[in-house]
Amino acid sequence: MTDRIHTLTVALADDPREDDVQSLIDAIKHFRGVVGVTAHPVDFSTYTAEMRANAVWREKLFGLLDPKQGRTP
C-alpha cells in the first residue's frame, strides 16, 4: 500500500523577486490536481539562518583546502 500525498514543497535556489516568480506560480497552477499555490516571502530569521549555515560551510571548506588557514570556532 502506498501513502497519499497532499502537499509538495518546492525550495528555490535563490530568493527571486515576487514579480519574477509569478510566471512560475501561474505555470504550477495549471498542473492537474493543484488547488492552490502560495509564495512565502523571505523573513529575517530565514535569511539569518541561511547566512550562518553558509558561514559554517565556508569555514569547513577552507579548513579542508588549507588546514593552516582553517579557523576553529
Q: For residue 20, how many other CB atoms are within 10 A of its CB?
A: 8
pLDDT band at 33 (very low <50, low <70, confident <90, very high): very high
- 64 has pLDDT over 60: yes
Q: What is the mean pLDDT of residues 30-46?
A: 91
For residue 55, give the 3-state DSSP assignment: helix
pTM of the entire structure? 0.58
**Cα(31)–Cα(17) distance, integer angstroms:** 23
Band (47; pLDDT cuts 50, 70, 90) = confident
66 against 59, higher pLDDT: 59
Residue with cell string 516571502: 41
Q: How far apart are CA 5 and CA 49, in angstroms?
A: 28
Q: What is the predicted pLDDT for the residue at 1?
A: 86
Q: What is the pLDDT of residue 50?
A: 86
Residue 12 CA to residue 41 CA, distance in Å, equals 12
